[in-house]
Amino acid sequence: MYPKLIVIIDTKQVKLLTECVYDERTRKLWSKKQIKERGIESFISEKDMIETLNWNLNGDSTKFKHEYIGADFICAAIYD
């Protein structure tokens, strides 16, 4: 199973900010406009990030996984 989307979150900010979104299906990075249109440009907490990404991008919590990829970033992968 490959990720549908990979979202990199910058945790150094007061809010969690989306650094980039990679769409595995099209093999392209989303534009800032696409990220804003999906309402995933920032989050108030890790719980908010998980709930928002799961709801906006997937709708099925069993397909959502996240992990820390460094002290300042979280990688959220949404699977098909």
Could you state, in order of their start, the residue ranges of all structural domains in the chain?
Answer: 3-79
pTM summary value: 0.73
Q: How far is CA 7 from CA 12, 17, 32, 40, in A?
A: 16, 10, 12, 9
User: Any idea which residue has 């989303």 for tokens?
Assistant: 30
Q: What is the mean pLDDT of residues 2-20?
A: 79
Highest mean pLDDT among 5-9, 39-43, 55-59, 62-66: 39-43
Cα separation values, 35 from 3, 5, 13, 44, 53, Å: 17, 12, 18, 16, 11
Read off the pLDDT of each residue in 6-14 and give the average, rounded to a whole number. Answer: 79
Give 34 or 51, the one with higher predicted confidence: 34
Reported as a pLDDT band with limits 50, 70 and 90, residue 34 is very high
Q: Supply the pLDDT for residue 80.
A: 65
